[in-house]
Structure 1
Amino acid sequence: MNKQQLAAKIWASANQMRSKIEANEYKDYILGFIFYKYLSDRLESFALSQDMGKDDLQSLSEDDEETVEFFKSSIGYFIAHEHLFSTWIDHESDFDVSHVRDALSAFSRLIHANHKRLFEGIFKTLETGLSKLGESAAKQTKAISDLLQLIKDIPMDGRQGYDVLGFIYEYLISMFAANAGKKAGEFYTPHEVSVLMSEIIAHHLKDRETIQIYDSTSGSGSLLLNIGQAIAKHMLNKDKVKYYAQELKENTYNLTRMNLVMRGINPANIVTRNADTLEDDWPYFDDQDPVNTYDPLYLDAVVSNPPYSQKWDPQHKDADPRYARFGLAPKSKADYAFLLHDLYHLKPDGIMAIVLPHGVLFRGGEEGAIRKNLIENNHLETIIGLPPNIFFGTGIPTIILVLRQKRESSDVLIVDASKGFAKEGKNNKLRACDIKKIADVVTGRLTVPRYSRRVPKTELQANDYNLNIPRYVDSSEPAETWDLYASMFGGIPQSELDALADFWKAFPGLRAALFADDGTPYVQPKNSDLAQATRAHAEVTQFKQAFTSAFAGFTPWLRDALLKQMLTLQIPRQEALICEELFACLAKVSPVPLIDKYQAYQILDDHWQPIAVDLEILQTEGFSAARVVDPHYVIKKKDGKEVEVQEGWRGRVLPFELVQAVHHKKELDALRDKENRLSEITASLEETLESFSEEDKTNDTVNDAGDKFVAAAVAKEAKLLLADAKKSGDFEPESFEAKIIQSADWLAEEKTLKAVIKQDAAALHLKTKTTIEGLSDAQVHELLERKWIAPLNDALHGLPDQQIDVLSTKLEALVEKYRITYADNAREIQQAEAALAGMIGELDGNEFDLKGLAELKTLLAGN
């Protein structure tokens, strides 16, 4: 199930629940039940792994103390068979709200002592809120039953290529933010921002054997999860990462725990705390053993996206070791309080990243003093300016600050990434290429014109520690200028051609081939079709050949990297390895890097996402999963209700369309020919109907709306007309009668074709199912190459043409800019005025009209 399908199902369910609970509360119910299903499924999977059969599962009971203890010590909890999610679904007709209450109560009792901190109270929202789902037990039962039917289809097997729980949370936050009256951006970090922070953190930690990471305002937990995934690119053992999370809001804190558990993290590596980060610092101890469990918490990495400019109480905090060195944030804005909290918990060689509003860069007062201290002590490493409207519920500009406890340098890298994004609805979104570029610039501490700069501390001091990004990096596009001489007399200014310097360096002879240079600062185009002349130039042709040559080994390399290692490769790491090879190939193309490597990376990432999902399936289920065909379900209305029905089949890994194109091309082509003929008939019928007069359309052969033929009436009318034609001769080709006879033939052919197409398509569909199930290993490899590698290669090989198109478009725009001169415009205006003045003399009117016309004629004549 892809994100769009999942979102549609969730939204439909949410609308049904609107009358029962507040829209924003709905997410707590759906996420709670999803987590309960996960725990139920996990217990069943564990039981099966212990050679328990179906009968053993059905006998799981709280009364069997030995079995209960075995499960608790193994997975941390126990759920009896009667309380399993699958049992609720199997006994849908007997389901009752009391079953949920009993199950949640039992779960709380049956948590292992070592897992109390992780699981205790995690279902509190459900336990205390079920009564909100209806006035009576019957209505509550109905509401929960509907929710369970939705949840049973939500995938949570890790094969989706995205964080399912996090996506649902994000989707519901975005849909309900306005209704809830809250700034949802305060407690949710968009996935793309989370990935960016994760890449920066992971690069710093890549060589460590064990890692501890902490989110002081954890929200849904997605930021921690993304860091874990990014680190997995560099570490062989994911169990070497320990996660610490702190969250104030209880419902959201529970979600943090759910999300971390659902992603398969070892429970021993999850340490969470429901507390106020600013009021209750981390030092934690167990009441049972305060001495041995005391934990001041110093970590390898700290990340957070705290609520922006929140009020707090700084009173009596001046002795707090978190703030003593730097100062107290003002009570109206806790931004720096959160930052200093995070910095305090860093190890000397640690790194932190925090999302804050843009104002922390330049606001004065207490914040200015803290900022000065951070800069003077060399803690501030990087500032990243993000695009506007990137967070739900708030359009304020935001930044990411990267800080360290100890640094060798004192400069600050300032990155203005505010221009790189894609528009998605009301919000902006960082693309994969934007994230990659920012991460590369930050980890490499690179200076890129109009994008990033390493600013020395002396310059920051000279600016009184004001860090406003435009002071240091000007990312604005140069304003368009107009050359006065070229505007008056024509010609292309050499200075404006100079702006395309990269192209002229790549193609040294192209400029002279396209433009005639007479020694003045202006040139004239030699060709009327610059685009064609550019493409035909030898150096451009050589550039495309060089690209093909540079990528000659890329397909064989991909075969080795993907197809030969598909069952053993590390999925999180593989995209990075392919990216390195891709960039290496691009570096061979030309001394001048005409092709933006981040544009190429975006192509790779777009193609990688479905590849990663396929790899996850193959590694989880084995190579034979490529030969599995699943029922294809669709939602249809039946008796006023939406029901799920099977409509054919779908390959779990291999699409039917691909298999048909390779193994059943003859049948597929024949089917396409019939479909094309059907389209031709449809177009002919529409064209014929459009040619009818309004009177013709009142005939019984056309429906009441006048937009469609009535097949039966047309056939009947044509039969009568043909009988008449035998007596009186043929009708004129463009006559109404001739058109009706022709339309009758088309409609008859259309009816036959539709039946044949339906029959042939069904037969081809079943034949394809059989083919997939019987594919040899070699055939599977060939099809996977066509699915994974061929489309990626095709897209990459389109890059040279795209760059030539960019050049051609710019040159044609430049020619058009100065094609019509001011003198040309002036002459056209004079001619128009003279023509209008001549027509005025032909007009007539009363005395005053004529005086007015005479004055207008004088003005038009320029007198």
Structure 2
Amino acid sequence: MGKGDNMNNFQEKSNFIFAIADSILRGYYKRNDYQKVILPFTVLKRFDSVLAYSKDAVVKAYEENKNDDGLELILMSESIGENGKKLGFYNYSPYDFQKLLEDPNNIEANLKQYLNSFSENVKDIFVRFDIEKHIYTLSEKNILFKLVKKFSETTVDLSPKSVSNHEMGTIFEELIRRFSEQSNEEAGEHFTPRDVVKLMTELLFAGETNESGSIKLVYDPACGTGGMLTSCKEYMQNINPDIDIVLYGQEIQDEIYAICKADMLMKGEKAENIKGPYSTLSNDKLPNQTFDYMISNPPYGRDWETDEDEVKAEAELGYNGRFGAGLPRKSDGQLLFIQHMISKMKTNDKSKIAVITNGSPLFTGDAGSGESNIRKWIFENDYLESLIALPDQLFFNTGIGTYIWVLTNKKAPQRKGKVQLIDAREEFESMRKSLGDKRHFIPEESIKKIVNTYNDFTVSDKVKIFDNEDFGYTKITVERPMQLNYQVSQERLENLYSYSAFKKLAEDEEGKKQQEAIKEALQTIGDDLYTDWNSFEAKVKQALKQFDLKPIFIKNMIEKLSEHDDTADYVTDRKGKPKEDSNLRDTEKIPLIQNIDDYFEDEVLKYYSDAWYEDKKNKMGYEINFTQYFYVYEPPRSLEEIEADITKVTAEIQELLK
């Protein structure tokens, strides 16, 4: 079967199954709920088809050994596929989809008996789908028989001969995408487009040398339907079938977890390695496990408020927990997933990660923030190997630009202390037909080009190589002395109302009278301009001595009666040291590779000779301003060109006005 046939095959099957929803469920179920019925029945039909080859042998073995203590092992050994390999699951019921149709009146009871005859690992999947509730509803509405009949038609042949494991995974993904699109849900949360998965997989294994006979553990902490894990296994086994790849994952959503586990079971994987439905951030179900390879597309910009208590408690453990480097803002947990994955690296062996994020984790968060501290930790530990900017409009549920991070704990010698930035934003082709927000895809030749560029590790127009320190900076607070003039003018008296304690006086009649009395008393000073704090302060205190006002109240009022004045005296503290003016305060980001004092002299003192900074206020930060590194200056158009355009447009307008 050629590549085109495969495409048509999975597309045809998903079209038929999707159409069942409208033909059977319309009027009985809300459109938003179609998938709650169709997805579990699709999974059930696939199990039914895969089990068909050894069905009779399993039923016979059950009847002969049902009272035997070793029944489980007997049934597992009898349940085999056409290739002779054990399936790893079974069903000992005499019923299948065809036999269920032979007894329409008892279809509900028989279907439940059929479900209860599955091995425990399959039963768990249907519990997550809550299938019994739907069977009851379908039976009550008198459409259960019709649904089973539709799934029994030849157009929905899901036998392994007709539909490969890979295609079945694609059918699941296509159905989820279409149902999600129909109900305006986030389809892209559950799986990643195949072109992006392929690129990430090839980047993850690029340059890796794995010995025959070795066992490699691959993990996805937000595994969705398991497409990334499956891609890794297929890719590695194509390179070397003598490497044993063991897949692990965790998924939070019940139905998606159920599909992932079902898919893994049918592919002969260790389905018990897929954990769920639990949040990886607050309930890591593989707490002491480390992995050789990790690959993931964690949710973009999803808040982690529901995980907050557990995440903060673990952060308190420092580097004994997963979140020792810091916590990002609650509105976006992407950097938590990156920390989680790094915590799963092998300490005495090499681990490698490919993870995709939006732009936020690259630069959101100022020096000293949780995000900046996490980046600082990543750079200081030399984890980030490469960062690849991808085209926009690649995903089903968002058009934003995304980035692949390649991280490792054991860089090749030439990469140590370095980060490779690759600009692949133009490496796309347009889709013939959009799929949600996905209007672009990365063609095969672009995937090869990006992977070769990653491997080459040489500088070009689209590749920059930096030292880790190049992304770091010291943020200093630049202070300038307070120089003020003071005056009791009508305009400045109005400024008193912006001082909260003065404004608060107006809460009762007595206070309002006091406000007016204070203003009248201040006006006795006259409207002369003063440039010295002490002499003006003495005048104010004298004018207001009849009021019982605290020194801080008077100080704040004087500030409201002042304005900045470069010719005025410095305002000093008791030791005669100039006070800083918070209104003139500024900050500077100084690259780590630059000397702070040299920078301060060249960039600050040149303009403000009396400015200063204090070391204790300095903060170190890290950020990756990706677009800045690839910015190409485009000179503005010439004046002649612009004038010619204006003349042309003016003539057109005049013509229209005629």
TM-score range, shorter chain: 0.5 to 0.7
CA 1:283–1:154 in 2, change beyond 3 Å: closer, same or farther?
closer
Q: Distance in 2 between matches of 1:343 and 1:21?
A: 44
Q: Distance in 1 between matches of 2:237 and 2:276?
A: 25
Matches within 5 A, 1:513-528: none
Q: In structure 1, list runs of 5 or more residues that go unmatched.
A: 48-53, 285-295, 488-821, 834-851, 857-863
SS in 2 for 1:277: coil
Q: Distance in 1 between matches of 2:635 and 2:276?
A: 52
Partner residue in 1 for 2:470: 459
* Residue 255 of structure 2, aligned match among 251, 254, 258: 251
Partner residue in 2 for 1:326: 325
Partner residue in 1 for 2:237: 232
Shift of 1:92: 7.7
1:413 aligns with 2:414: no
Shift of 1:283: 4.4
Q: Which has the higher contact order (CA 8 A, sep 6+)?
A: 2
SS in 1 for 2:315: coil
CA 1:64–1:333 in 2, change beyond 3 Å: closer, same or farther?
same
- Aligned AA for 1:298? T
- Aligned AA for 1:444? D
Matches within 5 A, 1:549-568: none
SS in 2 for 1:391: coil
CA 1:76–1:324 in 2, change beyond 3 Å: closer, same or farther?
closer
Partner residue in 1 for 2:192: 189
CA 1:282–1:134 in 2, change beyond 3 Å: closer, same or farther?
closer
Query: Is the contact made by 1:386 and 1:397 (CA closer than 8 Å) also made in structure 2?
Result: yes
CA 1:440–1:225 in 2, change beyond 3 Å: closer, same or farther?
same
SS in 1 for 2:27: coil
Partner residue in 1 for 2:312: 315
1:302 aligns with 2:298: no
Query: Is the contact made by 1:386 and 1:399 (CA closer than 8 Å) also made in structure 2?
Result: yes
- Aligned AA for 1:101? K
Matches within 5 A, 1:398-437: 398-407=402-411, 408=413, 409-424=416-431, 425-426=433-434, 427=438, 428-437=440-449
Partner residue in 1 for 2:343: 344
- Aligned AA for 1:96? I
CA 1:211–1:414 in 2, change beyond 3 Å: closer, same or farther?
same
Q: In structure 2, list runs of 5 or more residues that go unmatched.
A: 1-7, 78-85, 474-590, 592-620
Q: Distance in 1 between matches of 2:208 and 2:106?
A: 50
CA 1:168–1:44 in 2, change beyond 3 Å: closer, same or farther?
closer
Q: Distance in 1 between matches of 2:58 and 2:186?
A: 45
1:375 aligns with 2:379: yes
Partner residue in 1 for 2:358: 357
The number of residue pairs the alignment matches comes to 461
Q: Distance in 1 between matches of 2:123 and 2:108?
A: 22
- Aligned AA for 1:453? K
Partner residue in 1 for 2:628: 471
Per-residue CA deviations over 1:352-382 (Å, capped at 9, x if unaligned) read: 1111111111111321221122112211111
Partner residue in 1 for 2:488: none
Per-residue CA deviations over 1:260-305 (Å, capped at 9, x if unaligned) read: 122233568x453432111112345xxxxxxxxxxx1011011211
Partner residue in 1 for 2:455: 443
Query: Is the contact made by 2:46 and 2:159 (CA closer than 8 Å) also made in structure 1?
Result: no
CA 1:473–1:233 in 2, change beyond 3 Å: closer, same or farther?
farther
Shift of 1:216: 0.5
CA 1:232–1:152 in 2, change beyond 3 Å: closer, same or farther?
same
Partner residue in 1 for 2:169: 166
CA 1:29–1:442 in 2, change beyond 3 Å: closer, same or farther?
farther
Query: Is the contact made by 2:198 and 2:231 (CA closer than 8 Å) also made in structure 1?
Result: yes
Shift of 1:59: 4.5
Shift of 1:159: 6.0
Q: Distance in 1 between matches of 2:49 and 2:148?
A: 19
Q: Distance in 2 between matches of 1:430 and 1:133?
A: 44
CA 1:119–1:236 in 2, change beyond 3 Å: closer, same or farther?
farther
Query: Is the contact made by 1:156 and 1:164 (CA closer than 8 Å) also made in structure 2?
Result: no
Point out the structure with the larger helix share.
1
- Aligned AA for 1:106? S
Query: Is the contact made by 2:386 and 2:421 (CA closer than 8 Å) also made in structure 1?
Result: yes
Q: Distance in 1 between matches of 2:264 and 2:100?
A: 25
Shift of 1:432: 1.4
Partner residue in 2 for 1:101: 112
CA 1:267–1:334 in 2, change beyond 3 Å: closer, same or farther?
closer
Per-residue CA deviations over 1:213-269 (Å, capped at 9, x if unaligned) read: 11101100111000111111222236x11111111112111111111122233568x
1:177 aligns with 2:206: no
CA 1:191–1:477 in 2, change beyond 3 Å: closer, same or farther?
farther
SS in 1 for 2:117: helix
SS in 2 for 1:453: strand
Q: Distance in 2 between matches of 1:30 and 1:206?
A: 43
- Aligned AA for 2:302? Q
Q: Distance in 1 between matches of 2:271 and 2:162?
A: 17
Percent of aligned pairs sharing the same letter: 22
Partner residue in 2 for 1:265: 269
Q: Distance in 2 between matches of 1:37 and 1:126?
A: 16
- Aligned AA for 1:83? Y
Q: Distance in 2 between matches of 1:58 and 1:315?
A: 52
Per-residue CA deviations over 1:705-757 (Å, capped at 9, x if unaligned) read: xxxxxxxxxxxxxxxxxxxxxxxxxxxxxxxxxxxxxxxxxxxxxxxxxxxxx
Query: Is the contact made by 2:351 and 2:408 (CA closer than 8 Å) also made in structure 1?
Result: yes
TM-score (ref. length: structure 1)? 0.49
CA 1:68–1:262 in 2, change beyond 3 Å: closer, same or farther?
closer
TM-score (ref. length: structure 2)? 0.63
SS in 2 for 1:274: coil
- Aligned AA for 1:191? R
Q: Distance in 2 between matches of 1:43 and 1:3?
A: 20
Partner residue in 1 for 2:91: 79
SS in 1 for 2:191: coil
Query: Is the contact made by 1:24 and 1:173 (CA closer than 8 Å) also made in structure 2?
Result: no
SS in 2 for 1:82: coil
Partner residue in 1 for 2:228: 223
Matches within 5 A, 1:389-404: 389-404=393-408
Matches within 5 A, 1:722-737: none
CA 1:69–1:40 in 2, change beyond 3 Å: closer, same or farther?
farther
Shift of 1:204: 5.0
Per-residue CA deviations over 1:288-345 (Å, capped at 9, x if unaligned) read: xxxxxxxx10110112111112222143232343445411222222111111001100
SS in 2 for 1:299: coil
Q: Distance in 2 between matches of 1:101 and 1:340?
A: 44
Per-residue CA deviations over 1:62-99 (Å, capped at 9, x if unaligned) read: 5642676412355444323522345346x386772332
Q: Distance in 2 between matches of 1:14 and 1:395?
A: 29
SS in 2 for 1:129: helix
1:34 aligns with 2:35: no
Partner residue in 1 for 2:561: none
- Aligned AA for 2:296? S
Q: Distance in 2 between matches of 1:151 and 1:35?
A: 16
Q: Distance in 2 between matches of 1:186 and 1:87?
A: 38
